[in-house]
Each structure stands twice: as structure tokens, then as C-alpha cells.
Structure 1
Amino acid sequence: MSTFFLACNVLPSGEKSNQKTQSPNIVFIYLDDLGYGDVSAYGATELETPNIDNLAKGGVRFTQGYASSATCTPSRYALMTGQYPWRNKNAKILPGTAPLIIDTARMTLPKLLRIEGYQTALVGKWHLGLGTGVVDWNKRVSPGPNEVGFDYAYYMAATQDRVPTVYLKNGYVVGLDPEDPIQVDYKNNFEGEPTGKDNPELCDMMWHHGHNSTIVNGVPRIGYMKGGESAKWSDVDMADHFLEKAQQYVKSQKDDRPFFLYYAMQQPHVPRTPHPRFVGKSGMGPRGDVILEADWCIGEFMKTLEEEEFMENTLIVFSSDNGPVLNDGYYDDAVEKLGDHTPAGPLRGGKYSLFEAGTRVPFITYWKGTIQPGVSDALVSQLDLFSSIASLVGSDLEGPDSQNLMNVLMGESKKGRDQLVLEATTRTAFRKGDWVMIPPYKGPVKNEKVNIELGNSSEYQLYNLSNDIGQKHNMAKEKPEKLYEMVNAFKKIRGKDHGEIEILKLN
């Protein structure tokens, strides 16, 4: 469901400078499940996102910007490591009790920036695992964000719909009463604890699929939890809470060291729990309301950067961790009140899908007074932020699969990537030039629970996105030479044989 801010250094005296420096501050804002068509700058007509639009109007709006994956954990892994997530078998959607999937010996973007003298911070959603085995939530939970490069970390372990429903600060559960210890289990419930499945009368939000375990704040979750009452978060206040923590961190920067802030917002992931200020504002139910809420949060954060005099040297890269989904486990009117809104825009598929809407997402770069406004059709991936940011701060380190596209992100070049492997729930497809190839995969054509086409087929699929952005016409049989070229190029990167192409009969 990402945004990057680069802001100016703070002088040792406490006075702030608007002059550009060699070591700009960096902030990532990463949205969760926001679709290509969910932003008015990308064509949404039923929703207005003025603060995101301001970034697009004043910066570079990329029409071909990609998350690495069609689900959250893999995209976040790629963002932190610059490595394709399919290279790590553990980089998949994680339960709240999963161990940390980033090796603490691995170079990460926050580690790289710390080497370059940065202070580093995380505020928001983590979902990359914690600990090494069975976690005791009543003690310091490690390894986690701190052990992979963050000096300060204030976060939720996984997602808003998963237990434990508590915030952690530098590994410790916030507000925990030691007399009321937390217990978490993803297989077995605790005796006497109500669940969404057995006690629907206790639910203020009704589950549709998968979300029928422990009930917290009237919302049934994934997984079972007992105890920790004083530490449980307030869902409707979560957006405000993370915003406040991000603002406080920016305001606290008073020395001469640059900072890196990864601000990972939870909207519009389920459960969609807008603050009462936003309830009903979109006319589309909670999903539309939390998108408006997220846009407002971005505007408030921008105001803080402005007040702290960071804006003149602030690079913003706005994006999402994957494509959109409507019903993702709860009955919340996302489908019923959609109206004419198209979360995927002109794209096919959505979250979980190998089609374009799974990974092609809003992607905007903005730097007041430095980046010239425009629209770019260059192919860029969130993978490339690792090597690009490294180049920006003077480091010669690179991510394993990351390319230095800093000149493209700055709007100085239109030449992006030539090729990219796309991933959705461990399945992979290949983009090269204007063409996309999806190998044959077993499994359902559609995820019926979420009503999204997954891209599975018994045959190879080949699409020319230059004239078929909606992927309506499979050209695999019409263009055997192109398919052959695509599959061979794909195999060289993927390192895995996806089977012979029986339809190819080249002379």
C-alpha cells in the first residue's frame, strides 16, 4: 500500500537552512493497498486527493511505476533490501508471529544511510517479521527494525487486521501492564476467549472470509490474542497516532545529522476504520473514507515539513506497496458503494494478481524548486530506490537487483529500466520494453473471495502494453518470436525453468 521525502540538514545552532546540502534528509511514506486509479492525479473522478495531487502537479508523475510485488510483505522486503523478494522464500505475506525475514547481516537501506551519517527511523506498519522463533511479547522483541538499521522504531508488528493489536517502540510493547501479559497464537484460541466465528454478536464489523478469530474493538482479526488490554490500539485513532509520531520525529531533529524516516501508513488496508471526522466523507463507505483520511495525513505531514523549513530540500517519492482490493475479508460496503470509481484505473487485476493492477501503482517524485513538473513514461520500480538513494548520498553500494535511476527520479532522464520481473504470491511474470509475458500457472483464474483475476492460465500470455494497457488481447500465439525472446530473457534472470514452449515452432 510509498513516499519519500528528502529534507535539508539542520544547523548545529538549531537554526534551519533552506540551502541545499550534500546530505538531504530522506522520508519514505508508503501506502497500503492503494490502487493506480485511487488517486485523482491518476484519473480518479469519484475521489479527490488534493494533497497527493499537489505532489503530482509539482513533481514527476510516473505512469509506469511498479511495486516489486502484488502483496505487502514482499514489496516491503524489496524496498528495504533492493533485492527481488522471490529470491527469499520467506518473503511472503506473514502472520503476526513470523520471525524477521531480513538477515541482520544483510545490507539494508537504513543501514546504508546510517553508514553515511544518517539518523534512521520507522513509524507505522512493519510486517517483515520479528524475533527468531516463539516471541515473548512481554519482553523486548528482537531482532526487528532496530537490528536491520533503524535507530528509532515505532510500529505495529504486522497489519491492522492481525494480532497482536499493539504498538511497539524499539522492540517493547507500548503501554503494557506486566500484570496483564500478552499471549498470541495463530493456530489455537485461548480458553474462554470469544471469536468472530463463534460470537458474531460481539462484532461491530462483520467478517467475510479469514478474519474470524480474536475480536478487538469490535473487529474480528486474524489470529488469537489474550491479555494486554492496556496496550491495545484504538483503530479509529491509528492514522492520527502514526501521523503524530512522524511529526514528532521531524520536529525533534535539531542537530547537524541528516535523518531518514520511513513513514508506513496503514490505509486503505482492511479493516478500514476511519476517524469519525472522515466517516461518510467519500460516499463510498470506509474504503473511500480512509483514502481521504490518508490524503489529509499527507497534507498535515507536509505542513510540518514546511513549518520546520525542510521543504526547499525535500524529495518526495509517493507510491503504494501493491494494487487495490475491495472486499479483503470484511463486509464494509467497499463493493456495494463503489459506484463509478475504478480503483485499478484502466489496468487489469488487482492485489494478488500478476496482471498490471497488481504491481503498477501510483508513483510520484517531488522536490520543491529542484524537480521540474512533468509526466514520465519511464519504467521504474521501488527496487531501484535502494541504489538511487545510495547514489544520492554519495554511497557506492547497490542493491542486488536495484538500478541507479536517480536521474530518472529527478526528471532529468526519460530512460528507465528496460526489464523487470514482477511477482504475485511467489508466481512471477516478466516486463521487457512494452511487452509483458506471464508464464503458465496452475490454480484458479480468479480469487473468488476478493473477485480479482490472478493471471493464472494453462497457456503463456503475452501483452503489448503500448496499445493494450488493459491486457485484453493475448498475443502469445500471434507473436511466437517475441514470446520466445521474452521467455529466454526471463529465464536468465529468474534462474528457473518454467517449462518448454510447445507453441513455438521457429525455423
Structure 2
Amino acid sequence: MIKKIIPVLIFTATLVFAVVSCKSNTRKPVVKNDVEKPKPNIVVIYLDDLGYGDLSCYGATELQTPNIDALADGGVKFTNGYASSATCTPSRYALLTGMYPWKNKDAKILPGDAPLLISTAQTTLPKTLAKAGYQTAIIGKWHLGLGSGNVDWNTTIKPSPNEVGFDESYILAATQDRVPTVYIENGNVVNLDKNDPIEVNYKKNFEGEPTAKTNPELTTMKWHHGHNNSIVNGIPRIGYMKGGEAAKWSDIDMADHFLGKAQDYVKTHKGNPFFLYYAMQQPHVPRTPHPRFVGKSGMGPRGDVILEADWCIGEFIKTLEEEGVLENTLIVFSSDNGPVLNDGYYDDAVEKLGNHDPKGGLRGGKYSLFEAGTRVPFITYWKNDIKPNVSDAIVCQMDLMASLGNLVGVDENTTDSKNLLRALLGEAAQGREHLIIEAKSNTALRSGDWILIPPYKGASMNKKVGTETGVSLEYKLFNVVKDKGQQNNLAEVNPQKLQELIQVFEQLKQ
């Protein structure tokens, strides 16, 4: 009789624990004076290649970022906040879909003419929030593909962000260093002259069009690697482009341009709950600070554009306050991956670095399986609702799907996104137990205090950018709480923990 009861008791206890665990990050609607508060506006501010140590609130001493610091001081600053990946396209895919990007073989750094990576049938963060009555918009960098192949840039481009859940979109197609160098609003190239049609090709140049190789005298920025194709505004790019002269952006005005669009969006949509994905381009190459910020950091263009981004965020927060919506706006701030200095241009990022450590004591950087590739600044701010706090909870941008869905009362059946709402709001100390991180299709495991990096074939150093990849033919095991810089590989001295994490990793990968 006892033997029969024990399994039932174990099953019951397991079930109760599972239910409690699932509800531990569930948050009931906020009620004040017997009246349920209106749904908060939600803003995701997403930087590009910003490192864990690039902000003064994360320990930087050579750069001061007072406006981002104010978010950290008034909200939750996460010490274990992650992008899903060490490169941009996969991280953006995870943020918007709640899915591990390594499950999609096409979720890699995309060229500017790639087809849309997200399926129009797929559940997305904007679609989830739209179900709760949110108006949704993206302003800034997209880099998730457009159209279904062979894009005609001279007609309305479909599918685009508008077909995967965004009511409004004002974007650059890929990155600032890739063609086409034009803004696209709701699928249409802005200021396009139909008599000067745009052509884009990533395999061969158009006859007679200058490139950085054939006409270096036309460049004002010197390329280091890869960026030697079409020249726009004196800057050599990746890919070839012809036409569209009236539509080409001004690089030094890009930050102001996107800021203005974000401010206008708030002013015109403040009457109803909105979701704004404000995807800034800094400090990705080419680093082109407005003249107001040139030389301001003393660290060259990379430092200057970080200060520029901080100023933009300050101006945006002012707009939220002036329009009377700051107190009911949840802001999530993060970066798509870790830092890189020389990512294709000679711009003094290495030479003028000085004592600044963009990695913040971590190892690796962009493109790397080491911590600095995916562990990034991560801040949540909601004036008067979030109490200032520093959290060691493991959280990932991929978890915004389930967490924000729970916040607004829409529970989506997503495979990989975890509901960490109470952790994100600073109400719970526990975040994820396990997280698979990715760099250029290789994956590793963060589990509790530990990081497991399996063996892979390949180079241990990305020599072009000067970053360790984390790739080797041996298992690597680190306790990243005791060894933040991942200097002591414990795989041989702690075989029990190694085998335990290998098993967890294999189960999660299945």
C-alpha cells in the first residue's frame, strides 16, 4: 500500500510545485482605489552593439550616460540580462517572436535584400499586444528581411513589419553599413523619385557605379574589412546600390531623425495604449555622430555615438513626461548583442579606447560564445510602479513575449519565451533557471551560476575584429558568479557538474 501511495504523493507534489512555479511570475492587474489601472504603454529601447560595460550605470568611468543611468536608478538594473544571441538578426528575431533563433536555420546576419525572416503566420510580440488593444509601431533598425525575395524597392514592399504585427513602421531595412541606404515607411521608400528607381544587388556591382575599391578618393571613411562596395555620403557600404538619390538618408542626422519620429509617435498616440519598438542604430558602424557630439567623448566616434544615444533617450523621456504618459509607460532598455570595436572601418575605436572596457569585465564580445557576446545592459523602468532595485535574476529579451503578454492579459502558447513578469518588474528575485545562448549558429548553456560551452570546430579568435570566439575542441565550464571573466575552465576538475550540464543542455536542445 505504501509503495502505491508514494508515487501519487510525488506526482501531486510535483504538480503543485509546477503550478506554483508557473504562477510565481504571474501578476494580477494593478488596482488602485478599487479601480483597475489602465494598461501601460510599453516602449522597448534597443541599442545596437552596446556592451555590458559601455554605460556609467554598469561601471563605465570614461563615459557618462546620465539619461540611461536615470532609468537604471529609478528601475531594475539586471546584472544577468541577456540577448539571445551574439549577433543582431538572431537577437531581434528572438525578441519579436519569443523563439530561440537557432531553431530557424535562416536566423543569421542578413544582407539588406534578404526576404522577411519572420513568417506572417507566426505569433509576434506586437501581435500579442494588439490583441489587448495596443497600437503598435517600430521606429529604427529592422534587419529581419523584407518581402519574399527579389524585392522591388520602387513599389510597396510586402511583407514588411506591417505584416507581422506592426500598425506603423519607419525603418532602415538592415543596418547603417548596408544598402539600401534609405528609410522605409509602411513598406514604401521615403522620398523616392520614380524617375530614379532603386536597384540593389549583393553579388555584383552595376556597370559604371563607383566602389571603395575602384574609387577610394570618393570615400571620407576608410574601410578595414568587408565594407568596400557602393559609396553613399562618402561612406563605403556592404552591397551595391544604384539610383534613389533623393531618398538616401543623411548619416549624421539619423539619430535625430529617428528621435523625431519616436517623439511624434508618442504625441499622436498618447490617448490609447501603445507599444513602441524604438530600435536605435548606435553604436553600430559606421559611427556617424551629429556634429554636436563629435569629439565629445574623447574616445572617437564610438564613444561619441554612445553619448548621442544617451542624449536621444533623455529627449525621448522628456517627451513622455511632457505628454503626460511617463507614469504609465513601461520602458525596457537593452542591446542586441555585446560590443565590438573595429567592425569594418578605421574610426579610432581601438586607438582611443583608453581605460574604457566595453565588456565590463566580461570575456569575448560580439560574435562570441563568451559572456560579453550576449550578456548586455538590461533595464526595466516604470515610474512609481517599479521600485529601484538591482537584480541578479537571469532574464532574456526572448521572455518579453510571455511576460508582457501576461501583463496585458494575453497568454500566448510560445515554446521558448518564459513568463518572468514579476522578475522584470522587480517583484521576484528568481528568473530563468536555464538559457541557451547562441553565436553564429553555435550554442552554449547558462544554467544558474554556470556557463557550459561545448566543443566546436573553428577559429578561437575572430582576427578581423579582434574578439575571442569561445570556440575550441574542448568543453569549457565556468562559474560566472565567482569567475566573471571566465578565466578558470573547471571542466576537468568538476566532471560531475560538467556531466550534469551536458545532460541539461542536450535535453533543452531536443
TM-score calculated relative to the size of structure 2: 0.92
Structure 2 residue corresponding to 1:50, chosen from 66, 80, 101: 66
Give the Cα separation in 2 of the matches to 1:328 and 1:238.
Answer: 19
Q: Which residue is 2:214 aligned to?
A: 198
Please tell me whether residue 288 in structure 1 is matched to residue 303 in structure 2. yes
Return the letter of the residue paired with 1:24: P
Question: Distance in 2 between the 1:399 and 1:288 partners?
Answer: 38
Q: 375, 386, 390: which is aligned to 2:405?
A: 390
Aligned partner of 1:420 in structure 2 is 435
Give matches, 1:137-156, under 5 Å: 137-156=153-172
1:378-409 deviation per Cα after TM superposition (whole angstroms, max 9, x unaligned): 11111111100000001121432011111001
Which residue matches 1:79? 95
Question: Does structure 1 residue 434 correspond to structure 2 residue 449?
Answer: yes
1:154 CA displacement: 0.4
Mind listing any 5+ residue stretches in structure 1 that lack a counterpart? 1-18, 496-507
Alignment of 1:83-162 (within 5 A): 83-162=99-178
Q: 1:455 aligns with which of 446, 470, 473?
A: 470
Q: Residue 43 of structure 1 aligns to which amino acid in structure 2? A: G
Q: Which amino acid aligns with 2:473?
A: S
Partners of 1:66 and 1:381 within 8 A in 2: yes
- Shift of the 466–254 alpha-carbon distance from structure 1 to 2, 3 Å rule, reads closer
Contact 1:461 1:475 in 2 (8 A): yes
CA contact (8 A) 2:85 2:336 kept: yes
Which amino acid in the other structure matches residue 175 of structure 2?
Answer: T
CA distance in 2 between partners of 1:59 and 1:490 (Å) = 33
Deviation of 1:25 (Å): 1.2
Q: Secondary structure at the match of 2:269?
A: coil
Task: Tell me how many residue pairs correspond in the alignment.
Answer: 476
Q: Is the 8 A contact 2:140 2:280 kept in 1?
A: yes
Q: Map 1:339-488 to 2 at 5 A.
A: 339-488=354-503
CA contact (8 A) 1:194 1:215 kept: yes
> In 2, Cα distance between the equivalents of 1:445 and 1:303?
45
CA distance in 1, matches of 2:63, 2:481: 27
Contact 1:20 1:313 (8 Å CA) reproduced: no
For the aligned residues, what is the CA RMSD? 0.9
Say if 1:390 and 1:398, in contact at 8 Å, map to a contact too: no
Distance in 2, matches of 1:254 and 1:110, equals 17
SS of 1:51's partner is helix
**3-state secondary structure, aligned to 1:364:** strand
Match in the other structure for 1:332: 347
| C-alpha spacing 1:199/1:310, structure 2 compared with 1 (3 Å) | same
Q: Output the CA distance in 2 between the equivalents of 1:89 and 1:21.
A: 42
Q: 1:60 to 1:20 in 2, by over 3 A?
A: farther
Alignment check: 8 A CA contact 1:28 1:317 kept: yes
Aligned residue for 1:252, secondary structure, equals helix
For residues 83-126 of structure 1, give each alpha carbon's deviation from its aligned partner in whole angstroms, at most 9, with x where no partner exists. Answer: 00001111110000000010100110101111111111110000
Q: Deviations over 1:175-204 (max 9, x none)?
A: 000000000000000011110112111110
Distance in structure 2 (CA, Å) of the matches to 1:272 and 1:167: 18
Instruction: Give percent identity, aligned residues only.
Output: 71
Shift of 1:340: 0.4
Instruction: String of CA shifts for 1:446-469, please: whole Å, max 9, x gaps.
Output: 000100000011100000112101
**Per-residue CA distance 1:49-107 (angstroms, 9 max, x = gap):** 00000011111111000000000000000000000000111111000000001010011
Distance 1:290 1:396 in 2: 38
Unaligned residue ranges in structure 2 (runs of 5+): 1-34
Q: Secondary structure at the match of 2:309?
A: helix
Residue of structure 2 equivalent to 1:6: none
**Is this contact kept in 2: 1:22–1:393, CA < 8 A?**
no
Q: Could you report, residue by residue, the CA deviation over 1:139-182 in whole angstroms, capped at 9, with x for unpaired residues?
A: 11110100000010000000000000000000000000000000
Deviation at 1:20, TM superposition (A): 7.4
Cα distance in 2 for partners of 1:299, 1:155 equals 21
Question: Does the CA contact (< 8 Å) of 2:334 and 2:378 recur in 1?
Answer: yes
1:219-230 aligned within 5 A: 219-230=235-246
CA distance in 2, matches of 1:357, 1:467: 16
CA apart distance, 1:253: 1.4
2:44 and 2:37 map into 1 onto residues whose CA distance is 19
* Aligned partners of 2:270 and 2:323 also within 8 Å: no
What is the aligned partner in structure 1 of residue 280 from structure 2?
A: 265
The residue aligned with 1:60 is 76
Query: Is residue 91–residue 101 contact of structure 1 (8 Å, CA) maintained in 2?
Result: yes
Q: Normalised by the size of structure 1, how large is the TM-score?
A: 0.93
- Shift of residue 22 of structure 1? 3.5
Moved more, 322-331 or 245-254: 245-254
Contact persistence 2:270–2:325 (CA under 8 A): no
1:323 paired to 2:333: no
Task: Describe the SS at the equivalent of 1:184.
Answer: strand
State how far apart, in whole Å, the 1-side matches of 2:173 and 2:149 are. 14
Partners of 1:232 and 1:20 lie apart in 2 by: 47
1:179-235 CA distances to partner (integer Å, 9 max, x unpaired)? 000000000000111101121111100000000000000000000000000000000
Kept in 1, the 8 Å contact 2:136–2:168? The answer is yes
What displacement does 1:27 show?
1.2
8 Å CA contact 1:67, 1:382 repeated in 2 = yes
Could you list the structure 1 runs, at least 4 aligned residues long, displaced by more than 3 angstroms after superposition. Answer: none
Give CA-to-partner distance per residue, 1:264-305, whole Å, 9 cap, x none: 000000000000000000000000000000000000000000
